[in-house]
Amino acid sequence: MRQKRARRDEILTALEAGSADVEALAARFGVSASTIRRDLQDLSAQHPIARTYGGAMLAGSAVEQSLGTRATQRRPAKAAIAEAALALLAEGETLILDGGSTVEALGRRLPGWLSGRRLRVITNNLPLIPVLAGAPGLELIVLGGVVRPISMGTTGPFAEQSLRQMSADRLFTSADGLLPGYGLCEATPEQVSLKSLMMRQAASVVVLADASKLGQGKQPFWAPLPPGAVLVTDAAEAECAPYRAEGLRVIRVAPPG
């Protein structure tokens, strides 16, 4: 028993330093991988642990970056993902555009894509309102609610009440992180509550996530993905494989540069 406690204390230390690989931990302690998995399961009762592909990490909250900061990061990747997402659209569809800088990059391309086509857009992404309002052929519906200045999106019961009265052909969403078996993570329960409702109201769910988001679970609240969801990313095939294995359709774009 004392040996087990010591091993779990060392596992926790390893998790605090970053993610930990199950096989590496098993070799380090001279036990089976299944023993390490049981250790992680027991530790999760006392600590917020998120499973990663082949390992685990502490899922404590990371400092949330503002939308302005995120918009300046990985711009070429986000542009490539947004261009690939445009190819999924069909004339006359109703879209839900969630918050986030990558979804914003898609939204900013919609007026140019329309060119005589029609779209209806439902969104809580406030920076897109002046971009889409008045665009020829586009009907814009804005979800009211509590404004989160750090992400410039709306959440809460008012946004959800409105959304329950609508349905859509396609949802484009993003997240602070994405883990196989867990789905998308965000900083607040209000964000994942609205995001989960968006998934239910849409016939198709498309996740726009650059490579830095895959395998990350630093925020504490999770929205599981529905079967058949689509992931558009610039990540390498090895990073995409776990998501394909759990049934996601993965569209890879060429890494920038």
Percent of the chain residues topping a pLDDT of 90: 55
Confidence of residue 66 (pLDDT cuts 50, 70, 90): very low
**Domain residue ranges in the chain:** 1-58, 67-252
Q: Is pLDDT of 57 > 80?
A: no
Distances (CA, A) of 144 to 121, 122, 186: 14, 11, 20
Query: What is d(CA 60, CA 63) in angstroms, rounded to the nearest whole number?
Result: 10
Please tell me the pTM assigned to this model: 0.74
Helix (H, G, I), strand (E, B) or coil at 159: helix
Contacts of 8 (CB under 8 A, 6+ apart): 39, 42, 43
pLDDT of residue 149: 78
Per-residue pLDDT, averaged over 194-215, amounts to 95
Class (C level, CATH) for 67-252: alpha beta
- Encode pLDDT of 81-109 as tens digits: 999 999 999 999 999 999 989 999 999 99
Tokens matching residue 236: 């390498």
Q: Is pLDDT of 192 > 80?
A: yes
pLDDT of residue 61: 46
pLDDT of residue 186: 87
- Encode pLDDT of 17-27 as tens digits: 555 678 878 88
Q: Is pLDDT of 115 > 80?
A: yes
Percent of the chain residues topping a pLDDT of 70: 82
User: Within 10 A of 239 (CB to CB), how many other CB atoms are there?
Assistant: 16
pLDDT of residue 41: 74
Strands of the chain, DSSP E: 20-21, 49-52, 55-58, 94-97, 119-123, 138-142, 146-148, 153-155, 168-173, 177-179, 183-186, 202-208, 221-223, 230-233, 249-252
pLDDT of residue 195: 96
- Encode pLDDT of 137-154 as tens digits: 999 999 999 888 777 799
CATH number of 1-58: 1.10.10.10
Nearest residue to 149 via CA among 64, 72, 85, 52: 64
